[in-house]
Amino acid sequence: MSRIHILDDRLVSQIAAGEVVERPSSVVKELVENALDAGAREIRVELVAGGKRRIVVADDGCGMDADDALLAFDRHATSKIDSIDDLERVATLGFRGEALSSIAAVARVELRTAETAGEGQRVRIEGGRVVTVEPVAHPQGTRLEVASLFFNVPARRKFLKRPQTELRHALAVIQGYALAQPEVRFSLRHDGRMLLETLPVSADQEGLRARIGQIFGAVLARNLIPLEAAVRPGERVAGFVGNRQTGRGRRLFVYVNRRLVRDRALLAIFYRTVRETWKSDAFPALFLFLEVPPEEVDVNVHPQKAEVRFRDPGFAGRVGDALRAALEQARGEEPAPLATPVAPPSMPAAWEGLGERKQPLRDDGGTWRPLPGGEVSEVREGAVAGGDELADGGARSYGRAVEPGPAAGVAPRIAQPNFTPPAPRTVPLSGRSGPPRAFRLLGQYKGSLILLEGPDGLYLIDQHVAHERLLYERLRRAFADESTPSQSLIEPQILELGPAEALRLSELAPALEPCGFALRPLSGGAVALAALPADLALDAAERLLQRLATAEEAIENDPGALRRQLLDDFAASQSCRAAVKMHHPLTMDEMQALISELFRAEQPYACPHGRPVVLQMTDVELERRFGRR
C-alpha cells in the first residue's frame, strides 16, 4: 500500500480552517467583517461561555438570497472580488472567501438571512455537511449562529483557554471594529449580560472621540489630542494621541482603511516619534485612522490581515509628521537635564555611550553656545582628520563645542600670529606611562557629571543616573524578601476601563492580591479598587493597573513573577526620586564612594529607565581631535 494518499475534502477544509479560525474571537472577527461588508448599521454579538459554546452575530445588512445562502459556505465563495485585478482595489474587509466555509467545517452553523424582511432562508450545516435548507421568516439582514466550535477537532478544542480569556479576545475584536465604525451600533452580550453597547455617532473627529469615550470612558476621551496632517488627495490621516496623563497604558489602535492592523512599521514610527518628542518611554494612547486609495496599499500580505504594505514610501513619513505635531502639542513644558537654555542636552556623537543611546542625535546646528572670546567657524564636513567613521552631525557638534582643531579651519582666537600648528607627534596619550593606570577621579563638571580618567580614555558619569542605578539595585535587593503591606481604602476607588481591560484586570486580580491590591470587578467595564500597596499613591496605583490592563504582551498570571515586575517598576520610580539631582555639588569623597559602588553594580551602564550612565571618550579619539593621529 502506498504511503502517500490524497486527503479527503473534508479534512482539507478542516486543516484550512485552522488558518482562519483559531479561537472564538476569530469567528467573531470574520462574522463582524462580513456584517460590515454587508452594510450593517447595527451588529449584535452574543457569546456563551466565551464563544466556546455559542457565538451569534446578527446584523441588519443587505442579506442574501436563497442561492447565495448556500453558496456562501463553499470554499473561496466571495461576493467581494471577481478577478485577481480586484485584489488591487480591495475595499471590503474580507475578500478571500475562506471564512464561512472554514467556520462551517469545524462547527455547527446556522444561517438565517433575508434580503427583504419576511422571506428568508435558513441553512444548517454541521462539520461542513449541509443538514437543512428551508425558508424562514427573518428581518432584513443576516444572523449566524456558530455553536460547539471545534466539536469535530478535539486537538484544537483542547487549546482553547478559559471562557474569560476567550471572551476577552472576542471583546478586543469587537472593540476594535467599534472604534473604526463609529456610525455602526455594536452590542455584545455574554451569558446574557450586556458587556458593551455603543450608540451610533458621526464618523468625524468628534464622533471618533465620542466613540472612544463610549468604550474607554470619558476620562480618556477628554485627554486626547487630535491628529492633523497635510496629505495627498485620497489620503486621510486622522485620529488622536493621548496627552501625558494617558501615558503608560498600551492603548494602541492603528487602522488602515478602517481595518485594524498590527503593522510593526507603523508602530515603530509611533514609538520613535514618542521617544524623540517626549524623550521618554511612556507611550500615550494612540488611535490612528489612515485612509489611502485601495490600490495604494497591499493588505494581502498576511492571512489575518495584520500587516499592510504601502506603495508610496513617503506615506509613512507623513504619518510620522502628523504624530510629531500632535505629540509636541501634548508634551507641555519639560526642563532640559542640564538646564542651559541655549544648548540642547544631546552629547556629541564622538562620546561613545557605553550604554545604548536612546535618541538618535539630531543636528541642532548653531544651537551650541559659542565659546567666549571669538567666533567659532564652521567645521567643514570631513575636514576633521580621521573623522570619517564618525557621524557627521556628531563631528560638527563636537567641533563647535570644543573649538575646531587646526585642520578644521582656523578660528580667530587660535589664529594668532605666533601660532603654529603642532607638528604631529608620535607619542600617543595612551600607553605613555607604561602599564595602564586604574581609574582616577578628576572632578565634577557643572555639579552634574563626574569626570574620570580611565586606562583607555576619559569617562563622564551622569551622577543622577548613576546614583539612581545604585539605589535601584539596593531597593530591588531589599524588596526581594519584604512582603508588601496593603493599605485599605475608606471607599473603593472605581477605575473606569474598557470592557476588555476590565476583564483582563479581573483575571489578574488573584495574582495581584499578594502584591497588595484588592480588586473587585463591577459591571460595565469598571473595577473597584478596595486596597492598594501602602507605598503607592492612588494616582500611581491607578496608572499601574491601567498599564497592566492594557498591556499587549501576555502578563504572567503567576503571583511571584507579577510581584517581581511590580516591584521592579516601583524600585525604578522610587530610586529616581531619591537619587542626587543634577547641579548638586559633591565632595571628592562622595564621588569616590559613588563610583566604587557603581563599579560593583550588577549593571553599571544604564539606569532603570534605559538611559546611559557612562560616556567614554577614548584616547584614540582624543588624539584624533588634537591632530596627533
Partner 1 sequence: MDIRLNRVELLRELVPMQGIVERRSTIPVLSHLLLRAIDDRLEVAATDLEVSLTSSCEAEVEEEGAIALQAKKLLEIVRACEGDDVALSLDSETQTVSLAAGKSRFKIRGLPADDFPTLPSLEADGAVEVAFPTFKKMVGKVFFAVSSEESRFQLAGALLEQREGALTLVATDGHRLALVESEVEGLEAADSVLVPRKALQELLRLEDEADLHFRRGEHHLSFTVGRRQLICRVLEGTFPDYERVIARDNDKHVVLPRQSFAAAIQRVSLLTGDRARSIRLNLRDGELELTAANPDLGEAREDLPCEYQGEELSVGLNPDYLKDFLGAVETDTVRLELKDEDSQCVAYPVDGDDRRYLCVIMPIRI
Rounded Cα–Cα distance for residues 560 and 412 (Å): 65
Instruction: Give the nearer residue to partner 1 in terms of CB position, either 255 or 517.
Output: 517
Instruction: Give the nearer residue to partner 1 in terms of CB position, either 48 or 489.
Output: 489
Instruction: Give the nearer residue to partner 1 in terms of CB position, either 304 or 488.
Output: 488
Shortest distance (Å) from residue 569 CB to partner 1: 13
Instruction: Give the nearer residue to partner 1 in terms of CB position, either 221 or 306.
Output: 221
Instruction: Give the nearer residue to partner 1 in terms of CB position, either 359 or 483.
Output: 483
How far the first Cα of the chain sits from its last, in Å, is: 78
Number of neighbouring beta carbons within 10 Å of residue 277: 18
Rounded Cα–Cα distance for residues 463 and 592 (Å): 11
Rounded Cα–Cα distance for residues 480 and 490 (Å): 29
Residue pair 261/29 in contact by the 8 Å Cβ criterion? no
Shortest distance (Å) from residue 542 CB to partner 1: 8
Angle at 91 between CA 89 and CA 97, to 5 degrees: 90
Instruction: Give the nearer residue to partner 1 in terms of CB position, either 81 or 562.
Output: 562
Dihedrals phi, psi of 160, to nearest 5 degrees: -70, 145
Shortest distance (Å) from residue 471 CB to partner 1: 10
Shortest distance (Å) from residue 96 CB to partner 1: 48
Helix (H), strand (E) counts: the chain: 18, 23
Number of neighbouring beta carbons within 10 Å of residue 347: 19
Rounded Cα–Cα distance for residues 475 and 570 (Å): 9
Shortest distance (Å) from residue 490 CB to partner 1: 5
Residue pair 105/98 in contact by the 8 Å Cβ criterion? no
Instruction: Give the nearer residue to partner 1 in terms of CB position, either 26 or 574.
Output: 574
Shortest distance (Å) from residue 282 CB to partner 1: 17
Shortest distance (Å) from residue 573 CB to partner 1: 12
Dihedrals phi, psi of 344, to nearest 5 degrees: -75, 155
In angstroms, the Cα distances linking 598 to 470, 577, 584, 594, 601 are 7, 18, 18, 6, 5
Q: Which of 112, 219, 216, 223 is nearest to 171 (CA)?
A: 216
Contacts of 596 (CB under 8 A, 6+ apart): none
Shortest distance (Å) from residue 608 CB to partner 1: 16
Shortest distance (Å) from residue 463 CB to partner 1: 21
**Which spans of this chain sit near partner 1 (rule: CB under 8 A)?**
475, 478-479, 481-491, 493, 531, 533-535, 537-539, 542, 570, 574
Instruction: Give the nearer residue to partner 1 in terms of CB position, either 393 or 533.
Output: 533
Burial of 1: CB neighbours in 10 Å, binned 0-12, 13-18, 19+: exposed
Shortest distance (Å) from residue 213 CB to partner 1: 18
Instruction: Give the nearer residue to partner 1 in terms of CB position, either 447 or 514.
Output: 514
Rg (CA), the chain: 31
Instruction: Give the nearer residue to partner 1 in terms of CB position, either 443 or 485.
Output: 485
Side-chain half-sphere of 100: how many Cα atoms within 13 Å?
Answer: 32
Instruction: Give the nearer residue to partner 1 in terms of CB position, either 13 or 575.
Output: 575
Number of neighbouring beta carbons within 10 Å of residue 185: 18
Residue pair 623/629 in contact by the 8 Å Cβ criterion? yes
Rounded Cα–Cα distance for residues 247 and 251 (Å): 9
DSSP helix/strand/coil, 82: coil
Rounded Cα–Cα distance for residues 574 and 471 (Å): 8
Shortest distance (Å) from residue 541 CB to partner 1: 11
DSSP helix/strand/coil, 71: helix
Instruction: Give the nearer residue to partner 1 in terms of CB position, either 577 or 600.
Output: 577
Shortest distance (Å) from residue 547 CB to partner 1: 16
Shortest distance (Å) from residue 488 CB to partner 1: 4
Contacts of 241 (CB under 8 A, 6+ apart): 224, 225, 227, 284, 285, 286, 287, 323, 326, 327, 330
Instruction: Give the nearer residue to partner 1 in terms of CB position, either 107 or 532.
Output: 532
